[in-house]
Every structure is written in C-alpha cells, then in structure tokens.
Amino acid sequence: ELSKQAIGQFRFFEKQMNRTIYEKIHMERELRKALEAEEFELHYQPQIQLQTGKVIGIEALIRWKHREKGMISPNAFIPIAEETGFIISINEWVMETACRQTKLLLHQYPSLSVSINLSPCEFESRKLIYKLAKILEKTDFPPHCLDIEITERMTMDTEKAIPILKELKNVGVNVSIDDFGTGYSSLSYLKKLPIDRLKIDRSFVQNVQKEEEAILPAIITLGHNIGVKVLAEGVETELEAAYLKEKQCDEVQGYYYTRPLPYGELVQFLDQHKQQASAIIS
C-alpha cells in the first residue's frame, strides 16, 4: 500500500522524533496547508459480520495525498498532529467527511455504520460533544450509524472516561474500544464502561495458531459476558477467519476481505458484496 516515496516520507518524519519547537511549527504549518489544499482523503475498510457475511460497517482511515511526496500513511503524521494539537482540526474534517460520504450510502444500505478514530486530546476536549452534535445536525446523519473508536488507554482513568462515554451515549452514537488487549484494562472496570464493541488488536489475530491461542477466545468470551460485540482486526487469512467464526467472534475486518478502499472503490465493493450475499441466500 505504501509507495517507495511514502516510505521515504515516513523516514523523513521518523527522523523528526527529536523535534525542536521550530520543526513542530513547520510540521503544523504543513498539515494546515494540507487541510486547506484538500490533500487529505478518507479510505474505508469494510467490517463484516461473520455469521452472515454481510458488510455491517466501514472504518474511515485518513490518508495524506501529498502533492510531491505521494500517499502518506496516518502513522507518519497523526502522532505529530497529536503533539501539536492540530489533530482536533484534522479530525473535525474526518468526522464531517465520514458522515457526509456515508450518508450517501444509507439509502441503499440503511443499517451501515461508519467508524471514526479519536485521539486522546479530542476525547478529553470539552468541545467534543458539542462539535459532534453540530456535525451530525449539519450532515443530517443518524447518530446510531456512527461509531466512535477510542483506545483502551483513553478509558484508563475511569472517573474521567465514564462521564464522556455517557455523553456520547446521550448523543446516540456507538463506542468501540480499538486495539483492545494492548492496554492494561482491569477486567472489573471494563463492565462499568458504557461501550458497544471491543475491537481485538491484530497482534492477537496473528497468533491464532501459536502459544497465545488461549487469549483470543478468552477476549471473545469476555466481550460477550459484558454484553458487547467483538470484532477482530487485521484478519489476513482464510484460516484466521474460520478460527474466529468457530470461536463465535461477531465481526471481522482485514486484508483477507479487503484493504481500506477509496470511496469510489468502496461503493463498488458494497455493490458486489450485496449481490454475492443475495446469491448465497437464494
């Protein structure tokens, strides 16, 4: 997925780990210019229900289509955007674009849901709920078709997290815990969190045949015991998919089904998939 150019770019950003204040200012300026020049774009990765094979959702993943450097992966600029706080502006664009583009699909796929990723500083921002409500209104988007992905780490301070999660529930959106299993959740507090879904980190899926085999079914059971759906991320092989189905995992996402797709290709994917699903039923 990454072009040579993008890998070069990634190294370029990596070298900035020891960023000076000037470098940060420079990077923020670059990101600001990119936003203004409409160089960001969303790709969407379908999420599939294992029992039916139906596409039940899509995850919006940002890409930077740089005028000279080509496609830049979010891992190369999200951390910098988080450091400078500019992520707030970027993600406002992400939320609005994801709602606007998904809205166009809802006529044909009324139960489709779109997931967006939140950064820690946004999750804690006092304006989050206000902005979210405003975007939902502006795009006339049904809140129950929006899924907010937060990471386990963002929920660690439960006294802070629970009120925010409750407010999100009041707005009517769903919440998923992303990269689940990589943080240090205590299982006892997990059930106190008003969430809808756990997204098991790819690292557990990769190890289905190895020594960590016991972890994956344990997480699936844990999720079901606390009454939430469980999605496995980064499914790359038929074997992994079959294993997850056998272990009653609800949903999957990964290269085995498809990579994240530009909007136009997503529309085609949904269309083909709909025909396939109806062919199976009839």
Burial letters for 172-202: b for 16+ Cβ neighbours within 10 Å, e otherwise? ebbbbbbbbbeeebeeeebeebebbbbbbbb
Instruction: Please provide the size of the chain in residues.
Output: 282
H or E segment and range at residue 72: strand 70-72
For residues 175 and 278, which CB has a smaller minimum distance to ligand C2E in the complex?
175
The entry of ligand C2E, Mg ion, none near residue 265 (CB within 5 to 8 angstroms by kind) is none
Strands (E), 99-205: 113-117, 146-151, 174-180, 197-200
The entry of ligand C2E, Mg ion, none near residue 241 (CB within 5 to 8 angstroms by kind) is none
The entry of ligand C2E, Mg ion, none near residue 62 (CB within 5 to 8 angstroms by kind) is ligand C2E
The residues that touch Mg ion, with contacts defined as CB under 5 A, are 117, 149, 178-179, 233
Residue 188 C-beta: closest distance to Mg ion, Å: 24
The entry of Mg ion, ligand C2E, none near residue 236 (CB within 5 to 8 angstroms by kind) is ligand C2E
Q: Which two tokens stand for residue 85?
A: 């706080």
Per-residue contact flags (x/-) with ligand C2E for residues 139 to 178, judged by CB under 6 A: ----------x----------------------------x
The CA distance from 17 to 80, in Å, is 9
- Interaction between residue 217 and ligand C2E (CB under 6 A): no
The residues, ordered by sequence, that sit 6+ positions from 152 with a Cβ below 8 Å of its Cβ are 177, 178, 179, 180, 181, 182, 183, 184, 185
Site for ligand C2E in 23-82 (CB under 6 A): 45, 61-62, 73-75, 78
Residue 177 C-beta: closest distance to Mg ion, Å: 10
The entry of Mg ion, ligand C2E, none near residue 254 (CB within 5 to 8 angstroms by kind) is ligand C2E
Contact 113, 175 (CB under 8 A): no
- Interaction between residue 117 and ligand C2E (CB under 6 A): yes
Q: Which two tokens stand for residue 257?
A: 């089904």
User: What type of residue is 23?
Assistant: E
User: Which segment (15-23, 113-121, 217-225, 273-281) binds ligand C2E by CB under 6 A?
Assistant: 113-121
Q: Which two tokens stand for residue 81?
A: 């955007």
Q: Which of 81, 156, 105 is nearest to 269 (CA)?
A: 105
- Interaction between residue 272 and ligand C2E (CB under 6 A): no
Residue 190 C-beta: closest distance to ligand C2E, Å: 19
Q: Which residues contribute to the site for ligand C2E (CB under 6 A)?
A: 45, 61-62, 73-75, 78, 87, 91, 94, 117-119, 149, 178-179, 202, 233-236, 254-255, 260
